[in-house]
Structure formats: C-alpha cells, structure tokens
Amino acid sequence: MKKAILIALVMMVTAMTANAQEKKTESKVKHLTYNEFLKKVWDFERNPTTFEYKGKLPAVIDFYADWCGPCRRVAPIMEKMAEDYEGRLLVYKVNVDQEKGLAAVFQAKSIPMVLFIPVKGMPYKQVGAMQEQNYKEVVEEHLLK
C-alpha cells in the first residue's frame, strides 16, 4: 500500500514538473538563425549597403549569450514585451555563440545588445542592459508611433 502511494506521488510530481516545463517553453520571443534573419529581417547578403527591413511589424532583436549575466536579466523583459506588445511588435533573440555570423555583421562584441527596428527607417542599437521601462520607452516612442 505504501509503495502504491509513493509511486502515485512520484508520478504526480513528474506530471506537474512536465507541465511547468511545457508552459515555460511557450515563449513569444522567437530565436533567429542566420538564414531566418535573412528571410525575416534583412537580406544583407543581397543588399549589403542599404538596410531594407522585411517585416510588417517593428521588431526588437536581443543579441545575447547564455553565460552572460546581464543578458539573463534582460531575457524576462523581452518575454514581457513580447506579451505586452503582441500583434504590434516582434521580439527576437540571437545567440551570439551560435550565430557568430550575425554577431559579426552587427558588431555585437558587448552584450546584451538590442537592435530596435522600425518598419521604415534605420535600426537603433543599444549596447548594455537597460531597465524594463527604458526598453518600453524606446518601443513606444520610436517603433510604435
């Protein structure tokens, strides 16, 4: 009887942990690879001298690394912005260790580095972590007006 209760408890905890992990992976922030960047953001291989954004909504791109402390502090801010501005703003992430080509194109030597991209016009680059309110101010004033 005690074994059956113990087994049931273990199964219940395992199921709850799996559910929590599933919810955690339902991110609205999308990771970009080099090729996805060329398709969704800017094909700098075909048009290296003129920035032409391919998206229909403004975008924020967080260049980060898993080992970077300030990047880990910025990650939940990006998640929250993706939720708060859903349907009005795209939020992407680029792992500089996995996408060295993209990091080189944008000279992402200091991270976090966030690229703010309006639908029309040139992107704005911010190096270093900011407070959530500062990110939202840039989005509200420069991307959504």
Q: Catalytic site residues?
A: 68, 71
3-state secondary structure of 137: helix
Beta strands 90-95; 59-64: pairing state: parallel
Least Cα distance to 114 among 70, 57, 84, 83 occurs for 70
Cβ-based neighbour number of residue 108 at 10 Å: 23
